[in-house]
Amino acid sequence: MEEVNSNLIFLILLSIFVVYIIMVGFKQTKENERIALFQFGKFVKIVGPGLNFFIPNQAKQMQRVFLGQEGEYLGNGVAKINDSIFPVKGESLDCGDIVKIISFDNANINVKAIVIKKDVICPHCKQSFTLN
């Protein structure tokens, strides 16, 4: 009788564990978003839209990124978006540019520089100028 009880307890615990893994492991992404995977803090890849399954792992972190999301270009093909560093591709990007996500591929996030107009006041003559 004791053997049956221990087997039953083991099966119940195992089934609870499997259900937990399945519930935690599935992530759904919408058409305009992707999940960026990081392993030990380093960018690994971008996972596309749909229902994705990930085995829960402390070494892997996930972060959602959206089309139209903005970040800062840091130079050397990387940008800071949501406090994480991502490899990006874009034309005529300079350090410090504000960039906007325009598309995704498996290895990079494609971005476009945004022109921000700034009102600047000259310290000498106190005139206001708009810079592009």
Instruction: Assess whether 57 and 117 both reside in one domain.
Output: no
Task: Residue 108: give the domain boundaries.
Answer: 67-132
The domain boundary residue, chosen from 66, 97, 119: 66
Asked if pLDDT for residue 117 goes beyond 60, the answer is: no
Residue 12 is predicted with a pLDDT of 94
Residue 123 is predicted with a pLDDT of 66
Instruction: Assess whether 97 and 120 both reside in one domain.
Output: yes
Residue 113 is predicted with a pLDDT of 77
Residue 51 is predicted with a pLDDT of 92
Confidence band for 17, pLDDT divided at 50, 70 and 90: very high
Q: Taking residues 43-49, what's their average pLDDT?
A: 88
Instruction: Assess whether 62 and 110 both reside in one domain.
Output: no
Residue 75 is predicted with a pLDDT of 86
**pTM beyond 0.75:** no
Total count of domains within the chain: 2
Instruction: Assess whether 5 and 28 both reside in one domain.
Output: yes
Q: What is the DSSP letter of 13?
A: H
Percent of the chain with pLDDT over 70: 83
Percent of the chain with pLDDT over 90: 14
| E-strand stretches of the chain | 26-29, 33-39, 42-47, 50-53, 60-66, 70-75, 78-81, 84-89, 98-104, 109-113, 118-121, 128-131
CATH number (domain holding residue 130): 2.40.50.140
> pLDDT tens digits for 60-80?
888 899 988 988 888 888 899
Instruction: Assess whether 85 and 98 both reside in one domain.
Output: yes
Place of tokens 């990007």: 93
H/E segment holding residue 23: helix 2-25
Long-range contacts from 102-108, C-beta under 8 angstroms, 24+ separation: 102/67, 103/67, 104/34, 104/46, 104/48, 104/65, 104/67, 105/46, 106/45, 106/46, 107/45, 107/46
